[in-house]
Amino acid sequence: MRRHLLVVTALLIAGPALGQSLSERSGLNTLIGASPSTADFVKEAAISDMFELQSSQLAAQRGDEATKTFATHMLDDHQKTSSDLKAMVQAGKVKAEIPTELDSTHQSKLDKLKGLNGSDFTKQYQSDQVKAHKDAVDLFQRYAKGGDNDELKAWAGKMEPTLAQHLKMAEDLGK
């Protein structure tokens, strides 16, 4: 326990250049409820949307009827959030870069989905959706409470209820 506390303390003291990205990537910010930096929020939100879009495109083709309906809803909503985020960055209202490809974690999940069919695909997609939306709700809540860009902070707060609804829908999909 002392060792864990020392690591946490060292990361917090390490400073914004190292601490924010490492803290977000390691899950430390989630653990302590800290807001991500604007750059980290934009990166995580964009990757989350890319994963939602790509996995839901697969689900719209391979899923059962309930999964296809859910996937279509995810495609519509996440295309909008992706567009909103890109518009804020392109207009200069948010100083951050939007990634153009998935990180290795999300790419591995997508690759796994691509190799599945039938009920195996449906179960994995549903599980991925629950996890992705839990993470997104947490990310958006933390930024809405403590983010350092007022416009992005307001947008995160506005989007969080929709993501919470998506989480509920994903959980219900597995029932």
18 and 47 belong to one structural domain: no
Looking up residue 125, the CATH number of its domain turns out to be 1.20.1260.10
| pLDDT reading at 8 higher than 90 | no
What amino acid is encoded at 34 in this protein?
Answer: A
29 and 44 belong to one structural domain: no
1 and 49 belong to one structural domain: no
Taking each helix axis from N to C end, the angle separating 38-62 and 16-26, rounded to the nearest 10 degrees, works out to 30
97 and 120 belong to one structural domain: yes
Where in the sequence is the domain holding 24, given as residue range(s)?
Answer: 1-34
Q: What is the pTM of this model?
A: 0.83
Which band of pLDDT confidence, cut at 50, 70 and 90, is reported for residue 174?
A: confident
114-173 pLDDT per residue, tens: 999 999 999 999 999 999 999 999 999 999 999 999 999 999 999 999 999 999 999 999
Which band of pLDDT confidence, cut at 50, 70 and 90, is reported for residue 39?
A: very high
Calculate ∠ Cα 64-69-72, nearest 5°: 120
59 and 101 belong to one structural domain: yes
10 and 69 belong to one structural domain: no
What is the 3 state secondary structure string of 52-104? HHHHHHHHHHHCCHHHHHHHHHHHHHHHHHHHHHHHHHHCCCCCCCCCCCCCH
Total domains, the chain:
2
30 and 43 belong to one structural domain: no
104 and 92 belong to one structural domain: yes
3-state class (DSSP) for residue 4: helix
15-19, 38-42, 140-144: least confidently modelled range: 15-19
91 and 140 belong to one structural domain: yes
